Structure 1
Amino acid sequence: MLSHYQYQPWSWLPVPASPVQAYRVTQGLHVATGVAAIPLLLVKLWSVYPNLFRWPPIRSMKHALERLSVFVLVASALVQLTTGFLNTLNWYPWPWSFPSTHRYLGYVLIGSVLLHIALKLPDIKYGLQARLGDADVLTEVPWNENPLAHSNAGTVPPPVMPAMDRRGLFVAVGSGIGVIVLTTIGQTVTPLARIGLLATREASKGPQGVPVNKTAMSAQVLTLATAEDWRLDVTGPTPFTLTLEELESMRSVSEHFPLSCVEGWSVGAEWRGIPVIDLVRRAGGDTSSSVEVFSLQPNGYNHSMLVGPHVGAALIATHLNGERINLDHGYPVRLIAPNRPGVLNTKWLHRIEVT
């Protein structure tokens, strides 16, 4: 929900600009827990799949509802985690919008979990009432008299499957998930970058010490971004146009902001540029204005909106880690703002609208 809120904040509650590391932490947790849930889900499905072979498949209306809830739960979980993982790889082999689908499917998943719990409450109650430490409490009761199977009386029980005990399963699954998290989270927690064997990005691998998701070539802006007649048009009550030389001669400030991407990786960097508020005031606006920036990129995330605290905190960046930003990082200028997704820090700017 926090990730989605970054894309579509409420007009009366804009995304705060501080703490600057907030999105880095929340999105890092989002991706880390999503990746950790993949083996957890697979183990859970492995542990319950023998129930698919019970006969007859439908024994009552309650059982039919239970099976339907399980189908929705498993299907939505598999799609949610698969598409989420492909998102971390920056690969979208589907025609629909990933952010909105990921969000709405989350509601379906939450609802199916709650429905499944509601249908299984009698079994949950029985399990919780079992005496602690009595591992045989369920197996000592004849199968067709077991409260967990009272609706299954007279049917064929599921096949007995050889398996490790519960404690062994917890240790194995917990250890596996721990290894996956430790070898993935280095893309956000930089001290663990050395063991980030499964991380999709590495902070040190990228131009000027910061990775990129889209290059100038893939964005089709090579010619436009390097054109000698490039101008930054600023519209508003008092519009104006700046050449690159005029823009670079303006007052600039340096800020240490993390660049945090929806794929889960983030890198802290030193950015220098012109405060957005300086351009806004020159155009006749103030901190209460809405500011929309536009990229030379013809499609994709080629514009973004600044409202509320970000109007006063954002920069039109010209330098990264002490160097002039290169083409892949958004030359001639890009937007950089704290506590927002990297994809909304629009690159290759050519127009700013102040309203």
Structure 2
Amino acid sequence: MESPGPTSLLPFRGRLHDARTATSIGRWLGLAVVVCFVTGLVSHVLQHPPHPVADALPTRPVWGYRFTQGLHVASGTAAVPLLLAKLWAVYPRLFAWPPVRSVAHAWERVSVAVLVGGAVFELFSGLLNIVQWYPWPFAFVPVHYAVGWLLVGALLLHLAVKWPEIRAHWGRRSAGTVRLPAADEPDRRSLLAGVAAAAGAVTLATAGQSFTPLRRLDLLAPRHPDHGALGVPVNRTAAAAGVASVREGDWRLTVDGPVPYELSLAELGGWPQHEARLPIACVEGWSVSAHWSGVRIRDLLERAGAPPGARVRVVSLERRGAYRVTELGRSYARDPLTLLALRLNGHVLSPDHGYPARIIAPNRPGVLQTKWVSRLEVL
């Protein structure tokens, strides 16, 4: 007598919980995960460059980080409804009983658990990072980065184990090789169309925070590119950073190098002023181009007698914070578009935008565009 197959621990009466539906949704979800992972690697390298490449990070195109980080957040957002639909399609298998039938099956179940847990953590922690809410005790960036690698490893293992089944259900032609109810096809197409519409809707309603032609549709993103002091949004205000109001006569810029010197704000304003239209792009996904003016960093370094290959440590008036001290690698420090900015969109910097002076550099994450600069140290 043939033994019955595994049953679901929690009965679910809906249809389309089959391999073909799961494969169809899985193709879209896999693409979103790959794009999100690759662009996340770009963001991590630019924020935390390994020492061998720290001085050679590209400064062109100037909108490079704006594009990759906007794509990172958009693909991650689109992946949320895709992941929910994928979990719905495979729901009976997640709770199949008995849970383990052999050693090989046990390893498969472990890989699926890591895959599902990693995907849920990455996407929903990423969404909470967008709104800057951190209800956990660990540092977001290193954990998010590490789990990203874990997720990709589990995904590759899952694809290797399931490849024969995935291949059998990949396209319409291959569907004829397996027995699927023909009556389900109209419902399957409707389901896939609904999932695609949901992914497209959440993407269109959030992508405008970085892709400004869609800014009128920016209904769900926490930042709008047109809202903010001087026409630029702000993540961290002067009050949040603990920076008290700075009076012009009290502030000095210290440039520490072979020939150290100090400048008052009035003296800095007497230096040749340069202008640049550069985007500021934050890890949360929002970005906007703005008109900046100020003194070129390389001019300040030359006055301090810095050698051509020097890096620069930038120190903020902030007393605490992960990015109160940052470094400009050689490629950024010598780029003519890297400015110690004094004005934004034709106005003196507001306190929330880093008054009296801040860094602005091309193709650089917003968290490294240090505000309230008080000191430059030649390394």
Q: Same fold (TM over 0.5)?
A: yes
After superposition, the C-alpha distances for 1:234-276 in whole angstroms (9 at most, x for unaligned) are: 1011101111111111111000000000000000000000000
Measure the CA separation in 2 of the matches of 1:290 and 1:11. 12
In the TM superposition, residue 15 of structure 1 has moved relative to its aligned partner by: 1.6
Among candidates 342, 348, 353, match of residue 366 of structure 2? 342
SS in 2 for 1:120: helix
1:292 aligns with 2:292: no
1:178 aligns with 2:200: yes
* 1:238 counterpart (246, 259, 270): 259
CA 1:35–1:20 in 2, change beyond 3 Å: closer, same or farther?
same
Structure 1 residues 65 and 163, CA, compared in 2 at 3 Å: closer, same or farther? farther
Q: Distance in 2 between matches of 1:60 and 1:297?
A: 57
Does residue 2 in structure 1 map to residue 42 in structure 2?
A: yes
AA matched with 2:149: Y
For 1:12, the equivalent position in structure 2 comes to: 52
Looking at structure 1, the residues matched to 135 and 175 of structure 2 have their Cα atoms a distance apart, in angstroms, of 49
The secondary structure found in structure 2 opposite 1:232 is strand
Q: Shift of the alpha carbon at 1:52?
A: 3.3
**Which secondary structure does the structure 1 equivalent of 2:147 belong to?**
helix
Measure the CA separation in 2 of the matches of 1:208 and 1:232: 24
Deviations 1:51-101 (CA, angstroms, capped at 9, x unpaired) = 234222211111111111110001111111111111111222223222211
Question: Partners of 1:43 and 1:52 in 2: how far apart?
Answer: 14
- Equivalent residue number for residue 124 of structure 1: 166
Aligned length: 333
Aligned position for 2:17: none
Match of 1:213 in 2: 235
Q: Secondary structure at the match of 2:301?
A: helix
Do the aligned partners of 1:287 and 1:311 also contact (CA within 8 Å) in 2? no
Q: Which runs of 5 or more structure 1 residues have no equivalent in the other structure?
A: 141-161
Q: Which among 72, 75, 94 is matched to residue 117 of structure 2?
A: 75
Give the partner amino acid of 2:148.
G
Identity percentage of aligned residues? 47
Q: Secondary structure at the match of 1:347?
A: coil
Q: Distance in 2 between matches of 1:80 and 1:328?
A: 30
The equivalent of 1:304 in structure 2 is 326
Q: Are residues 131 and 188 of structure 1, via their aligned partners in 2, closer, same or farther at CA, if it must alter by over 3 Å?
A: closer
- Conserved? CA contact 1:259–1:342, under 8 Å: yes
TM-score with structure 2 setting the length: 0.83
CA deviation vs aligned residue, 1:273-323 (integer Å, no higher than 9, x gap): 000001101111144111011001111121211112211221000000001
Taking a change above 3 Å as real, the CA distance of residues 128 and 201 of structure 1, as seen in their structure-2 partners, is closer
What is aligned with 2:38? none
Contact 2:279 2:289 in 1 (8 A): yes
Code of the aligned partner of 1:206:
G
**Residue correspondence of structure 1 range 240-259 to structure 2 within 5 A:** 240-259=261-280
Alignment root-mean-square deviation, CA? 2.0
Q: Hey, what does 1:323 align to over in structure 2?
A: 347
**Native 8 Å contact 2:342 2:357 kept in 1:** yes
2:86 corresponds in structure 1 to 44
For 1:70 and 1:133, how far apart are their aligned partners in 2?
Answer: 24
Q: Distance in 2 between matches of 1:264 and 1:199?
A: 9
Distance 1:318 1:128, change over 3 A: closer
Match of 2:190 among 158, 168, 182: 168
Q: What does residue 13 of structure 2 align with?
A: none
Does the aligned pair in 2 maintain the 1:277–1:286 contact within 8 Å?
no
SS at match of 1:351: strand
Q: Secondary structure at the match of 1:107?
A: helix
Q: Is the 8 A contact 2:78 2:202 kept in 1?
A: yes
* Structure 1 counterpart of 2:73: 31
Distance 1:9 1:235 in 2: 23
Amino acid at match of 1:285: A
Q: Structure 2 counterpart of 1:343, which letter?
A: V
Amino acid at match of 1:6: L
Deviation at residue 138 of structure 1 after TM alignment: 4.5
Q: Is the 8 A contact 2:169 2:175 kept in 1?
A: no
User: How far apart, in 2, do the equivalents of 1:60 and 1:75 lie?
Assistant: 22
Q: Aligned AA for 2:243?
A: V
What TM-score do the two structures reach when normalised by structure 1? 0.89
Shift of 1:124: 3.0
**Aligned AA (1:346):** T
In the superposition, relative to structure 1, how do residues 232 and 70 fare at CA in structure 2: closer, same or farther (>3 Å)? same
